[in-house]
């Protein structure tokens, strides 16, 4: 059952008063998206002055089986913020007992997130030029965040993810040799993690708020987990997140070399390019399974949306990309 | 590497269902009309290129089975072999065989993707 504005007006103020120690009145609340995995609302409140907040609630409808839940999502975001990653400040965390389901309230940040605008608009030229520097600084903060308070996050190494995704792929009943080929290779070459760190899990264009000068916020922590830091770098380079700019592997903006140099400078740790490429292939495989998942949600009658039906045919893009990634892997190993 | 689901029939049915009950919001409907135009074009391409693609796929299955010494050349057996990474050092040849087919599939599903 979807949460209503009336429930928010009734349930949230005492929780916010308890969290902030000040009287709070919600003046307005407006649903922004009723997405697949989060129900997001914009709140205008008075709490010792005007406030603009975002409420994210568990939509409860769909789950790829990889999300830790809204409470842990909020805690991860909080820890990353304390380490210096630009994130919205978490104001209150909802355990689920309050009557709205699991969720959290955070400050609303300014900035633009739409990839076509960020990639084309002249206003973001400086932000694009500085993108690797800012993205690497954000990643460094995420990856150095202490994990002792994040024990509830799952550790997801490469092999676990590959097995989970292939099982999902098989459940859709399509015989697609490229998925099997990528799976066989990824399974055989899966890197082991020596020291799991906090990983964002969906660090890509579309989940960043950029102002004209800087990266103002890293959004959408719903796939966060503990794992290999190289995963975030690889996912940022997946072709789907280049939005048509195939020649600029990092978010359609920059080269891998620029990102790796910026990351090494920000962390003092060397980047393992082969491992990043591994995660890029795994990311492409993951995106392919997500496309199948979304198409299947239409085919099973769960989400009767034409958009969901159409995305099934984007699987062809991921099959092509997986073969190209495999070919590049071979070229790289040959060059070694 | 068959054409992915939804199949042409399933897409046609999805379009019909939407047309029977379009979104009342003009802005949302405009968005869905763009999706329909995209899918109509895709279906036209599939009608034109689909049979040649299926022949190409069949020939890849036969060549792959021969390459790997498989007794059967059906997709299930090939997928099993790939998933077990039971391909020895044949990966470059397998990519050489299947990459052109992936491009043929893109010519149906997303022709501007590689540009």
B9/chain A closest Cα distance in angstroms: 12
Confidence band, pLDDT 50/70/90 cuts, at residue A48:
confident
Gap between the Cα atoms of A272 and A327, Å rounded? 19
Interface residue of B102, B108, B112 to substitute, partner A, most A CBs within 10 Å: B102
| Domain edges within chain A | 5-107, 115-335
Evaluate if residue A262 carries a pLDDT over 80.
yes
B65/chain A closest Cα distance in angstroms: 12
Q: Do A229 and A235 contact (CB within 8 A), yes or no?
A: no
CB pairs under 8 A between A and B: 122
Confidence band, pLDDT 50/70/90 cuts, at residue A305:
confident
Q: What is the third-level CATH fold of A5-107?
A: Phosphorylase Kinase; domain 1 (3.30.200)
Confidence band, pLDDT 50/70/90 cuts, at residue A290:
very high
ipTM computed for the complex: 0.95
- What pLDDT does A27 receive? 93
Look at B102 and B88; give whichever has higher pLDDT.
B102
Q: What is the mean pLDDT of residues B33-48?
A: 96
Evaluate if residue A221 carries a pLDDT over 60.
yes
The answer to whether A5-107 and A115-335 have equal CATH topology is no
Closest Cβ opposite residue A326 in set B15, B42, B95: B95
Q: Give the model confidence (pLDDT) of A74-87 as tens digits.
A: 999 999 999 999 99
The answer to whether B95 faces chain A, any CB pair under 8 Å, is yes
The three-state secondary structure class of A169 is: helix
Confidence band, pLDDT 50/70/90 cuts, at residue A99:
confident
- What pLDDT does B109 receive? 96
Evaluate if residue A1 carries a pLDDT over 70.
no
Q: Which residues of A touch B98 (CB under 8 A)?
A: 177-178, 181, 323
The answer to whether B62 faces chain A, any CB pair under 8 Å, is no
Evaluate if residue A36 carries a pLDDT over 60.
no
Q: Give the model confidence (pLDDT) of A183-198 as tens digits.
A: 999 999 999 998 999 9
Kindly state the tokens that stand for A23: 């009287």
CATH number belonging to the domain at A115-335, selected among 3.90.1200.10, 3.10.20.70, 3.40.50.2000, 2.40.10.230:
3.90.1200.10
Gap between the Cα atoms of A192 and A196, Å rounded? 10
Q: What is the mean pLDDT of residues A199-228?
A: 95
Share of chain B above pLDDT 90, in %: 74
Evaluate if residue B2 carries a pLDDT over 70.
yes
Q: Strands of A4-121 (E only): list them.
A: 25-34, 38-46, 50-58, 90-94, 103-107
Q: Give the model confidence (pLDDT) of B5-14 as tens digits.
A: 999 999 999 9
Rounded to 5°, the CA angle A72-A208-A19 comes to 40
* Radius of gyration (C-alpha) of chain A in whole angstroms: 20
A268/chain B closest Cα distance in angstroms: 36
């Amino acid at each position: 059952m979807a949460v209503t504005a009336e429930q928010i007006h009734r349930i949230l103020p005492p929780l916010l008063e308890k969290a902030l120690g000040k009287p709070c009145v919600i003046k307005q609340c407006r649903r922004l998206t009723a997405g697949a995995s989060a129900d997001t609302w914009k709140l205008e409140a008075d709490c010792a002055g005007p406030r603009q907040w975002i409420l994210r609630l568990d939509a409860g409808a769909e789950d790829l089986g990889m999300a830790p839940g809204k409470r842990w999502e909020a805690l991860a975001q909080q820890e990353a913020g304390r380490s210096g990653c630009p994130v919205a400040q978490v104001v209150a965390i909802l355990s689920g007992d309050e009557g709205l389901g699991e969720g959290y309230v955070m400050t609303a940040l300014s900035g633009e997130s739409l990839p076509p605008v960020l990639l084309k608009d002249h206003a973001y030229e400086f932000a694009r030029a500085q993108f690797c520097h800012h993205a690497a600084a954000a990643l460094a903060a995420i990856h150095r965040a202490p994990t002792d308070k994040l024990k509830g996050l799952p550790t997801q190494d490469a092999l676990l993810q590959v097995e989970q995704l292939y099982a999902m792929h098989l459940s859709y009943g399509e015989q697609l040799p490229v998925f099997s080929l990528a799976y066989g290779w990824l399974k055989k070459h899966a890197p082991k993690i020596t020291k799991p760190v906090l990983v964002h899990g969906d660090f890509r264009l579309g989940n960043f708020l950029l102002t004209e000068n800087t990266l103002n916020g890293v959004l959408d922590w719903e796939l966060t987990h503990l794992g290999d830091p190289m995963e975030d770098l690889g996912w940022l380079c997946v072709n789907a997140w280049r939005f048509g700019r195939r020649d600029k592997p990092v978010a359609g903006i920059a080269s891998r070399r620029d990102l790796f140099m910026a990351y090494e400078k920000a962390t003092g740790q060397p980047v393992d390019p082969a491992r990043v490429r591994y995660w890029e292939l795994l990311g492409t495989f993951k995106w392919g399974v997500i496309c199948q998942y979304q198409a299947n949600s239409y085919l099973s009658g769960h989400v009767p949306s034409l958009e969901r039906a159409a995305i099934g045919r984007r699987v062809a893009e991921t099959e092509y990309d997986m073969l190209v990634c495999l070919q590049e892997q071979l070229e790289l190993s040959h060059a070694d | 590497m068959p054409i992915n689901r939804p199949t042409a029939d399933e897409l046609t049915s999805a379009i019909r269902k939407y047309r029977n009950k379009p979104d009342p919001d003009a802005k949302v409907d405009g968005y869905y009309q763009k999706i329909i135009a995209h899918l109509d074009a895709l279906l036209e391409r599939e009608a034109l290129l689909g049979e040649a693609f299926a022949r190409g796929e069949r020939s890849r299955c036969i060549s792959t089975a021969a390459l790997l010494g498989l007794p059967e050349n059906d997709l299930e057996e090939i997928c099993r072999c790939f998933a077990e990474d039971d391909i020895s050092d044949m990966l470059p040849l397998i990519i050489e065989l299947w990459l052109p087919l992936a491009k043929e599939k893109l010519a149906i599903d997303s022709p501007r993707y590689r540009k």
